[in-house]
Structure formats: C-alpha cells, structure tokens
Chains A and B, each alone.
Chain A
C-alpha cells in the first residue's frame, strides 16, 4: 500500500523523543544512511507531523510526558486507517532491572504492543539501521492481513 519505488524519493522516518540529544544523534545516523528525518518531541507533535508528511516509518521513545507515551502513540498510529501499515520501532531507557520490564519476548508481545521492533537505549546505530532497512524493504505480515 505504501510501496513507493525507493528511487523516486528518500524514505521519511518520523523520530519521536523528548530528549533533544537523542533526536539529534539518531537524526545524524538516519540521515547518514540516506533517509529523510522528521523530529517530534511529544505524542501530539508526532501525530501532527505524521498527518502533515505521511512517514514511512516511526521511531518513538517509550517514556515521554507519561510513562507509556510511546505505547499510546504506537496504538494511535496502528489503530487509525491512515498509518496502520507503517512500521513502528520503540526505543526506551527503561530496562528490566529498573523493575519495569516492557521488553517483548515473542512476536505476539510485539504485536500486542503495536510495535515491530524494540530497542533499549542507547541504540547501536548499525543495529538500528539494519532494522530500519529490513522493515522498509520486506513486506510485513501485517500488511497482508
């Protein structure tokens, strides 16, 4: 459905995080790989920018204004008709050792979270790029469902 030929324009990635430095670093990583990057600092900001530009992929932080802002955003994206086919990558600084373990262990966990991939911060740039690449090239099961 969102399959535009790669050559015609750079893929647009919407990057959401309340930490400006994380946005800055990730932007460099993604732009360096040839993607076009849009930055947003909150769930509301992200939805507005998504409607404006129709991104091909979303990378969002989990804990922003509230503990689960990232989940709320992912859910909002996947439930609406406009962006349901867009892959979502969740990043977070929360780890199991902090007593809050959101790390998905199975594909079902990911689906329940409305997330296609999950990374603990800090994210290794190479791993992030590999994942982004994979999500944008391979047709995902969800699209065919």
Chain B
C-alpha cells in the first residue's frame, strides 16, 4: 500500500460543512478535495479516481447522497463511502449501507466523531484491498501449479520411453502412453491397478526388488523382452527423506536399435576374421604344397603358386589398410593434405582403373563431363578422393548384374563440382537407402547374398567427403539402380 496519506473527497452543498470537514481531515494529514454536489463529485472521480474515501451529504440538490454513492462505487468499488446527515434515521442508514456505504455520521459532529469512522473505514478498505490481492495472488499461484502439473503430465505422456509409477503397496498408480502401448493389459486396467496387470513376472520382480531397496538411491536395471521387443528397464525407488521407498518409478526403453548394432558389430568382427582367414589359408596352403613336394617339380607351377600367394597377401594388406583408415578417421588420426586438385582428371583416371573389373562382368562403364568453366579444381587430398570414387565405382560394379551400365558424370553448379556414379543395378529399398552410410550396414536380400564387403566402404566415403566440406547424396530404387552424387566446393 502507498505510504502517502489517502485522498478524501467531501461532497456537501453547504460550503460551511465542506470547509469544516476539510480542516478537520487536513489536520490529520489527509489530502482533501471538495465538491458542491453529486455531478461535480463524479467529474472529480472520473478525472482522478484515486480517492480512498468519500464523505457524502445525504440531502443535496440534483443528486442525493445514496445515488451518488451508488455511482461512485461503480467507478471504484474500493472507495470508502461515509454518509453525513442531519436526518439520522435507521432507514436511511440501512439504505445507504445497502448502496455500499461503509458508515454513517450524524450531523452535527465533533472532529473525533468524523475522524474515527473515517479512519476505521480507511483501515477496512486497506484490509479488503489486501485480502483481495492475497486472493488474487493465491488464484494465480493455483493456476500456475495446475499448469505446472499438466505440463509434467504432458511431458511424461509424450515421452517415447515407457514410464510406470508403482506405490508402496505394489500398485500401478501412473503409466504414460508409451507404457500403455508396451503393456496393453496394464493399459486397459483402472488405476490404481495391481502389479499383476503388468503381466510380466520379470518386470514385477524388478519392481518388487526396487520397492524393497533400502534408503540408498539405487537404480535397478534389467533387460526384459516385452512383446518380442527388447527393453532396458531402469527402476529406481521413490525416496522421501531417506526413508524406505514409498514407491518405484520404472522407465522402459526400447533397445532394439542398440541390439541390432551390437549384433552388426559382432557379425562384422566375424566377417573381418573370416576375410582375414581366407587369404591366410590360401597362402598357407600354397606354402604347404610347395614345401611338402606335392606341387611337383615344374618351376612354372611353383612360380604360379608363389604369385598367387603374393596376390592374396597384397589383398589382405589392402583390406587391413582400409580397416585402419576407418579407425584412424574415427579417432581423428587420418592425415588429410588438401591441395588444389583437378577432380575431372582424378575421376577419369579412377574410372579407367576400374574398367578391367567392369569388363569382367561385361558391363558398360562410361565417363562423361559437362564442365565448362576453366577452374574446377577442388581443395582435396588426392589419395582420399581416389578412395572415394574408387569405392563408389567398385560398389556400382559389385551391385550391378553382368551386362549392366555404369555411368560416371562430372558437372558443376556455381560453387560445386558434382560427380555422379549411376548404375542400373539391383538398387536399394528406401529403408536400406536411409541406412546406406551407416557403419557396418549392408543391405541383405537374395540379390546381395554372396557379394563380399565389410559394410564400411560407404561410411568411409561419407566421412571423407564431409571432411572435405562436401556432401554426398543417394537416389535408389529396387530393380532400377542407384546413383550416388558427391558435391565438392570449387577452390577459390
């Protein structure tokens, strides 16, 4: 409340009364304004409107005190109205208070007889204003609490992980939408629901263990399969002031993707081991045959066997380097030396280096260029770029049946050189296309069966392209073919 003294309006048609009241009130420090009738009073109210109290004569020309009180209370309902009258009767007093007057001062009055009801009325006003403010404040807080709660509920409900809350009596008291989907039997039960509605002994055990845990906040984790999907369930006790658990909250996370990655990784290790063992076995076989004398005496035959061994050893070495490259790139140890590079020349050379491979499958491997600007150098590492395009063309040859077509095209748009490697091979489904660059991912179907690969080539390509501030995109459809486009910024 303002520390300033309240303003009081005195309305009386008798100048003597007006001045008398003013003097009494001003002697107490109140700010006083006067009006000679109701209309003048209302004008003052409308002009300033911050009167704390109005002392109103009951009998006035043009507008009587009761009507005036009614009207000023419409402008400001907090104003303390006091009626002054010489015709003090119970009826008028009742009528005035009905119109919202706080009190009633019979004329004539002593200064105290005026000041005491004024002071009381103003105190009352202050109290009622404060009470209203408190009420408003409380309502606002309640509203906030309510919206905070609904926010929490909305957040919990929108979580992709399933959330379950169980009380001390082992009843489900909360489940979010995801939990409902994972546990359909629990979803259809009314809350609180017995934990048996979870219909999963493993999950029930986990929750019971959690409820039984001591005052230490421990997370109980277990991998549980629900409806054929693997979930990691993390349950923690709800603890209040280090007491025994008053309940438990369990979060259910679908770990299908993680499991797939895990399987893919161990498959990858198996595959690498197999790929390493095959050439080693071949080399060992040749050496065995040569040393044991089974190979006979023909030096040409011996030479052939040694040459094959060398070839296999080199292929093995190349594979090991590819693995090391990827690991180095992953750990940031791959050294890239970016120099101005004529990409057109590099792509043409790389395409030619793959020709023998394409010829073996009687595939048509073509190279075309639509570069019209003179400067189409890119800032790039030559070995890295060779690796990128060799990999893409190798893939096209591998995943295109015999007698298919592979087109390598170079063009540019403003700041980029684009290299597209397009084939009319087996193509990929949209799902496989989305994952084509994923580490260890290999499309699996009857068409890809038997095509060797590590599932690392495209990961390597994408990492290299992005290291050069370029981008790679893919378009593919099953049975129609695949097109990879690499875009690299032209050097300034």
Contacts and interface: CB of A to CB of B under 8 A. Distances in A.
Contacts of B292: 125
Contacts of B267: 99
* Chain A residues touching B, majority SS: loop
Contact of A98 (B274, B278, B308): B274
Given A21-B312, A25-B289, A99-B266, A121 B295 contact: no
B449 interface: yes
A93 B278 contact: yes
A64 interface: yes
B285 A66 contact: no
A28 interface: yes
Contacts of B261: none
Q: Tell me what chain B mostly uses at the interface: helix, strand, loop, or mixed.
A: helix
A81 interface: no
A97 interface: yes
Interface in B450-473: 450
A98 B269 contact: yes
Contact of B286 (A21, A32, A121): A21
B270 interface: yes
B47 interface: no
A71 B274 CA distance: 18
B449 A29 contact: no
B449 A66 contact: yes
A32 B284 CA distance: 17
Contact of B273 (A22, A64, A97): A97
B117 to A, nearest CB: 96
B266 A122 contact: no
B160 interface: no
B402 to A, nearest CB: 15
Nearest to A61: B278
A111 interface: no
B294 A99 contact: no
B288 interface: yes
B450 A65 contact: yes
Interface in A59-96: 63-66, 93-95
B282 interface: yes
A15 to B, nearest CB: 12
Given A66-B450, A125-B289, A98 B273 contact: yes
B281 A28 contact: no
B277 interface: yes
B454 to A, nearest CB: 15
Contacts of A95: 273, 277
Contacts of B281: 19, 22, 93, 121-122
Contacts of A97: 273
Nearest to B271: A98
A29 B282 contact: no
A42 to B, nearest CB: 9
A99 B295 CA distance: 35
A100 B277 CA distance: 14
Interface string B266-305: 1101100110011011101110110010111000000001
A121 B282 CA distance: 9
Contact of A125 (B273, B280, B288): B288
A142 interface: no
B224 to A, nearest CB: 24
B274 A63 contact: yes
A93 B284 contact: no
A28 to B, nearest CB: 5
A30 B274 CA distance: 25
A26 B305 CA distance: 12
A107 interface: no
Contact of B289 (A18, A29, A64, A98): A29
B134 to A, nearest CB: 71
B278 to A, nearest CB: 6
8 contacts: A24-B286, A24-B305, A25-B285, A25-B289, A28-B289, A94-B270, A98-B273, A99-B266
Interface of A: 18-19, 21-22, 24-26, 28-29, 32, 63-66, 93-95, 97-100, 121-122, 125
Given A22-B282, A98-B269, 11 more contacts: A22-B281, A24-B286, A25-B286, A28-B296, A64-B450, A66-B449, A93-B274, A94-B270, A95-B277, A98-B274, A122-B284
Q: Which 6 A-B pairs have the closest CB atoms?
A: A25-B285, A65-B450, A21-B282, A98-B270, A122-B281, A32-B294
